[in-house]
Structure 1
Amino acid sequence: MNEIKEKIEHLRQELNEHNYNYYVLNAPVISDREFDRMMEELQQLEKEYPQYSDPNSPTQRVGNDINKAFTQVKHKYPMLSLGNTYTIDEVASFYDRVRSGLNEDFRIVGELKYDGTSISLTYRHGKLLRAVTRGDGVQGDDVTENVKTIRSIPLQLRGTGYPDEFEIRGEILMPWTVFEQLNAEREREEETLFANPRNAASGTLKLQNSAIVASRNLDAYLYYLLGEDLPSDDHYENLQIARSWGFKISDAMQVCHSLEEMKAFIDYWDVNRKNLPVATDGIVFKVASLRQQKNLGYTAKSPRWAMAYKFQAEQALTRLNSVSYQVGRTGTVTPVANLDPVQLSGTVVKRASLHNDDIIQSLDLHIGDMVFVEKGGEIIPKITGVDFDARGLLIGEKVTFIKQCPECGTPLVRYEGEAAHYCPNEMGCPPQIKGRIEHYISRRAMDIDGLGPETIDLFYRLGMVRTVADLYSLNESEIASLERLGEKSARNIIEAVDRSLQVPFERVLFALGIRFVGETVAKKLANSFVSIEALESATLDDLVGVDEIGPRIAQSVRAYFENEQNRNLIKRLEEAGVQMRISEDRLSGFTDKLDGATIVISGTFTHHSRDEYKQMIEQHGGKNTGSVSAKTTYLLAGENMGPAKLEKARKLGIKIISEEDFLQIIQ
């Protein structure tokens, strides 16, 4: 048995070392295949011998799909924000304040200000103990399980000499390449795009499914060490030592001995940050000596020994060559500016969204114009203006919005009160047809693995799939005969299609792609009408009577079912075995015990997760909301609940109930 334990510990040590080589040093020494083989071997051993489990094993980096509410944890050292400056004069004023405050020699450490989400990591006995978000600076959310999936953060420290317990702070980041892939996927699904990597990283870190967090390949840079027994009084030296423990510390750190060196540091990175793999929005300057930091102290909101210099939003001038138009799955036509390539915020920009006709007209765009393109912290480039001084006699024609669909030639429509133009030919426009199929198979809808945009396009061109119902008539041998697929891919596709027959009704309703019916609306409609037949028969008044369903959604649902092709599609899906009603098991649990009640959930719970309580509220006729108001009926209070919600509920006289009280109400 000791041999097994030694084998497990050896594999963990090897995998930790290879993680460090790959994600911190960017210098792998083995192939991905060999790494995966070792990981599979360790996973199998840990499964067979659970007595040797370790929460900091490399196998924990893959995450799991268990939903968990986050517990709030008070910071040992408050996480204060930094004072921002935008000019060199303000940097000089900071330098002068430090000099007069210390009245002795000092050094300044210049660092890049990474544009992500702040994190505090606590290590005890060389192992990751806890990861907490900044929160309100006094307390934050415990996101340890999600942080374990970030491979550049060590679970077990390397080397020796680290304090028995200490804290290290840094920034969780989403690299540009990962961010662009994520937004491209969301764009295909016609979901709201993340505005910048910071929002994407923050949103990912707060997901309650760590397996999804793991799939998004977050990164981390660490920049400040706190504790009682740190190796040095010097901030810069501490971080260099922390690097040897396995932490990813930026190479873009510099010790500055004068204001001139600080200015040179700013000038250098204002240009060279464009080539970095992650987003930055400025520079942080800190007094190097921890003793001097302590002597300078703090204001109410920020340390006197540190400041942030913010870069100006990055802008470039380039030529507008043409405007093309893209058609989404709901028929939305989006104009796209095609530009001379230009370097902007770490990526080469060739295209920028023009959003709609109103934007085009406000810019007075002409083909050949020199245009200002801005990204700043934004990944989605936008044209912010035209250099009219550069407009010559040979300027091209004025940009005007097209009148017909670029894909099928159908005249476009613009509905009253909306900025977008639409192609109304939803049943005959290829991008809309393929877009609906891609939406149907997506993970949050029917979750049919093995099919992507390229495969859907191939099936469409060959006439194998023209509606989502055709997926259930696919032939394994026919798929296997296609180029780049083969028997294994064909089998996986057919099995995934078969599994989709078990997807519950509310996700099927979302998968149908009815305009304005997202996940939340689909769930409300499914719970209210129970079956597709009842929903199809619902009048406008019936639909508007459902909580949070307004006239626009109601009209869209009615229009969908009034279309004969849609009704035929649903009939084919029903015949294939797709779930078109809520199961009897779930129906048996439906009551009206919370009818008319609006409930806010806060804190963590013993008997069920927050998501389960949300489902119970809906199942018993209640409504779940995120914030306390005069309309709130109950505040369902768990452990570590937000103090602001509790105080507001008490002020408004809202009844506060425990989970035992809640379970008693619905029994």
Structure 2
Amino acid sequence: MSQQLTREEHLAAIKKADREYYELDDPTLADEEYDALRREYIDKYGVEDLNYVPGSAAGDFDKFNHPNPVTSLSKWTKGVDSEDDLAKKVEELWPVIMQPKFDGLTVVAYPNADGSCRFVTRGLGGRIGEVLPNFISKYEGKGVNNSGFAIRGEVYITPENFAKMNDVLTAEGNEPMKNMRNAAAGILRRKERSPFVDYLSYVCYEIPGEDITPLAAREIISRETAFTATDMVQLKAPETALAEIEAYYENLKTENAVPIDGIVIKSGQENSLEKFGFTAHHPRNGFAYKALSEKFVTVVRDVIWQMGRRKATPVAIVDPVEIDGATVTRASLHNAAMIKELGLTIGATVEIHKANEIIPQITRVLEPGTEEITLAVCPSCGEPLEEVNGQQFCNNPVCDERIAQDIAFVGGKDVLNIDGLSIETARKMVAYWKENHPEERPAYTIMFAFTKDMLMDLEGFAEKSAEKLYGGIQAASRNVELPRFIKALCLPGIGTDVGKILADEFGSLDNVLQKLAEEPSPQEMLQEINGIGPKTAEVVSSAEFSLAVKNLQQYVSIAAYEKQEVPTGDFAGKIFVLTGKMAQPRSYYVELIEKAGGKEGKSVSGKTDYLVIQDVNSTSSKAVKAREMGTKLISPEELVKLLS
């Protein structure tokens, strides 16, 4: 759908879907279609425009930086993932507890000195949430959270209260709400206090940032807060884990007392976070079990190929099917290898379901179709595609869509940040150039050669819009930061991170090129730099890199690079681990540490310099380990004196 939208229309469609979901409780898009809409927007324009928590209060509530990211769990899905893999995970994490995975709104309760709380949504990526102005009445006073810890929980509405609320709405002549999860989120995300806020429930299950067992966290929540702690059940044996998990899940679903969408599996080992660590997105000391979602049957009518910057991706067009109250007409196929594996053909009757996909996924063919699905050539330029690991890539440098995608990429917020340079405009620029300059081989750098008059000739552009885009392109091409310039080369695997590494190492692009020319083994030299791997070294040392630099420098000037200074002082680079109850919010101490050039550590290790703990004579596992490691133990008050 978003392929036909301008940037403004695309963003408006996302915000419209947000309002339908959170405010009106009447979504017109399936979850997967909404996720796809957001994902496509981020791919084209970056995440900045979407840096808000959806809902009626977006942009109006106070922002809050979570001192410890509110992470999600990785998922194991029944019928999709290997049962052997689940057994292996459970055995590794043993002993293991399980608890319900509530289907609601994640909220973290941050305590104030008097035990009252700021209630904060999880927010974007679990890092920046919003402070809710209203919460459930019984949790709004003093002494609600005397633990000194942030407490994570889930807000939901029970089926009983959901029905009760809808009875009230109907009696008042209003439309009843259709979805319990949407209702809970919508009630809290209002500027004014909802009359139904006390219909909500809040159940807590975790202390973010603290490396303690689930049972220890439950004990703290039960003993030192007014919150309800979630139920926990310990598994009996690794070999019977799946059967126990499924029985627990089915029992909870049958009771239907609270909305759940899976089961959380957590290690009961001491210091499990330290032992198992993190991936880029999830902690490794637990995961979520998801039952296979409901299956739906439909017919594949066509397969379209969407061309990105390099890769062609297939999407199945299917007969409309209702999923979660929305009409779905597309299903994910990922790549040509998946088409072959499924034995998929046009006209096939297929089974689709939702399983960690941004749009529904075809899982198997029930009845074969009549027409083969083939893709030997690029859907844009008609040139043969190269297959690499089941993926199809266009290697034609003058492919219209490749050039347009690169123009939109360079105009994105994370590169040159040119307002109004959407993929639709980029396509118009390529078409105009080919028509008016047939003798010249086009490249993405044609974007810098467009004049205001040329832009006015594009469909949909008037004098003001052409002038604005022209001015934006000209301004963005002057004094560009070196890491962004390197990203704007549009070379595979070369992004801002690589650009910063090269800038920090060499100081200027001239120095990079000179060093590459002088070195007898430039790839080996580059791989000695922290963060540069073999593939990146191969690209940077290639003639393609030098040529791309030369071509872009004709249009874009580079600002003098100033390497960011590393903080100096007695505490620069020192690692502080904070644990236990403290007089001030954790963020207060983290800010002091970072201002002094230090870093907050998540767990005690040989690299930890200070363990900040209220009782320096504590016999807790962290304190004992810190002493064994030779780490200095200091109180929060000593930390303040030390860094002030």
**Which band: TM-score by shorter chain?**
0.5 to 0.7
Task: Specify the alignment match of 2:393 in structure 1.
Answer: 422
Tell me the alpha carbon deviations over residues 509-542 of structure 1, each in whole angstroms, 9 at most, x when there is no partner.
Answer: 2233321234433332332233223334431112
Contact 2:106 2:155 in 1 (8 A): no
Kindly state the Cα deviation for residue 313 of structure 1 after the two structures are TM-superposed: 0.5
Alignment of structure 1 residues 463-482 onto 2, 5 Å: 463=433, 466-480=442-456, 482=458
Kindly state the Cα deviation for residue 320 of structure 1 after the two structures are TM-superposed: 2.1
Aligned residues: 443
Seen in structure 2, the aligned counterparts of structure 1 residues 477 and 118 have a Cα distance that, compared at 3 Å, is same
Task: Specify the alignment match of 1:359 in structure 2.
Answer: 338
The DSSP-based 3-state class of the residue aligned with 2:376 is coil
Contact 2:428 2:459 in 1 (8 A): no
- 1:460 and 2:460 aligned: no
Query: 2: distance between equivalents of 1:521 and 1:590?
Result: 19
Kindly state the Cα deviation for residue 409 of structure 1 after the two structures are TM-superposed: 3.3
The DSSP-based 3-state class of the residue aligned with 1:317 is strand
- 1:572 and 2:549 aligned: no
The match for 1:521 among 491, 494, 498 is 498
Task: Specify the alignment match of 1:319 in structure 2.
Answer: 299
- 1:450 and 2:420 aligned: yes
Task: Specify the alignment match of 1:334 in structure 2.
Answer: 313
Contact 1:132 1:142 in 2 (8 A): no
Question: Which residue identity does 2:130 align to in structure 1?
Answer: V
Kindly state the Cα deviation for residue 449 of structure 1 after the two structures are TM-superposed: 0.8
Query: 1: distance between equivalents of 2:325 and 2:313?
Result: 25
Contact 1:130 1:142 in 2 (8 A): no
TM-score normalized with structure 2 length: 0.52
The DSSP-based 3-state class of the residue aligned with 1:413 is strand
Task: Specify the alignment match of 2:157 in structure 1.
Answer: 223
The DSSP-based 3-state class of the residue aligned with 2:66 is coil
Task: Specify the alignment match of 2:486 in structure 1.
Answer: 509
Query: 2: distance between equivalents of 1:467 and 1:645?
Result: 60
Task: Specify the alignment match of 2:541 in structure 1.
Answer: 558
Question: Which residue identity does 2:394 align to in structure 1?
Answer: C
The DSSP-based 3-state class of the residue aligned with 2:379 is coil
Question: Which residue identity does 1:251 align to in structure 2?
Answer: M
Tell me the alpha carbon deviations over residues 28-62 of structure 1, each in whole angstroms, 9 at most, x when there is no partner.
Answer: xxxxxxxxxxxxxxxxxxxxxxxxxxxxxx99935
Task: Specify the alignment match of 2:370 in structure 1.
Answer: 396
Question: Which residue identity does 1:411 align to in structure 2?
Answer: P
The match for 1:132 among 120, 123, 134 is 120
Query: 1: distance between equivalents of 2:399 and 2:624?
Result: 52
Seen in structure 2, the aligned counterparts of structure 1 residues 430 and 491 have a Cα distance that, compared at 3 Å, is same
Alignment of structure 1 residues 170-189 onto 2, 5 Å: none
Kindly state the Cα deviation for residue 555 of structure 1 after the two structures are TM-superposed: 1.8
Query: 2: distance between equivalents of 1:438 and 1:448?
Result: 9
Tell me the alpha carbon deviations over residues 563-612 of structure 1, each in whole angstroms, 9 at most, x when there is no partner.
Answer: 66524323213xx4244x523xx37x469999xx8978876467969998
Task: Specify the alignment match of 1:486 in structure 2.
Answer: 462
Q: Any stretches of 5+ residues in structure 1 without a counterpart?
A: 1-18, 28-57, 75-84, 86-112, 136-140, 169-205, 207-219, 225-233, 255-268, 278-285, 618-623, 663-667
Seen in structure 2, the aligned counterparts of structure 1 residues 165 and 405 have a Cα distance that, compared at 3 Å, is same
The DSSP-based 3-state class of the residue aligned with 1:479 is helix
Question: Which residue identity does 2:377 align to in structure 1?
Answer: Q
Query: 1: distance between equivalents of 2:638 and 2:551?
Result: 45
- 1:385 and 2:385 aligned: no
The match for 1:438 among 408, 411, 414 is 408
TM-score normalized with structure 1 length: 0.51
Question: Which residue identity does 2:294 align to in structure 1?
Answer: E
Query: 2: distance between equivalents of 1:609 and 1:467?
Result: 49
Seen in structure 2, the aligned counterparts of structure 1 residues 628 and 517 have a Cα distance that, compared at 3 Å, is farther
Contact 2:336 2:390 in 1 (8 A): yes
Kindly state the Cα deviation for residue 442 of structure 1 after the two structures are TM-superposed: 0.9
Query: 1: distance between equivalents of 2:532 and 2:416?
Result: 23
Aligned residues with identical type, % of pairs:
21
Query: 1: distance between equivalents of 2:165 and 2:530?
Result: 54
Seen in structure 2, the aligned counterparts of structure 1 residues 72 and 461 have a Cα distance that, compared at 3 Å, is closer
| Structure 1 stretch displaced more, 500-509 or 301-310 | 301-310
Kindly state the Cα deviation for residue 385 of structure 1 after the two structures are TM-superposed: 0.5
Q: Any stretches of 5+ residues in structure 2 without a counterpart?
A: 1-17, 27-55, 71-77, 79-100, 145-151, 187-198, 204-225, 235-251, 262-290, 517-521, 579-585, 640-644
Task: Specify the alignment match of 2:283 in structure 1.
Answer: none
The match for 2:508 among 531, 541, 546 is 531
CA RMSD of aligned residues (A): 6.2
The DSSP-based 3-state class of the residue aligned with 2:493 is coil
Q: Report 1 or 2 for greater relative contact order, CA contacts < 8 Å, sequence distance ≥ 6.
A: 2
Seen in structure 2, the aligned counterparts of structure 1 residues 511 and 241 have a Cα distance that, compared at 3 Å, is farther
Query: 2: distance between equivalents of 1:468 and 1:626?
Result: 44
Contact 2:480 2:557 in 1 (8 A): no
Contact 1:335 1:353 in 2 (8 A): yes
Seen in structure 2, the aligned counterparts of structure 1 residues 553 and 167 have a Cα distance that, compared at 3 Å, is farther
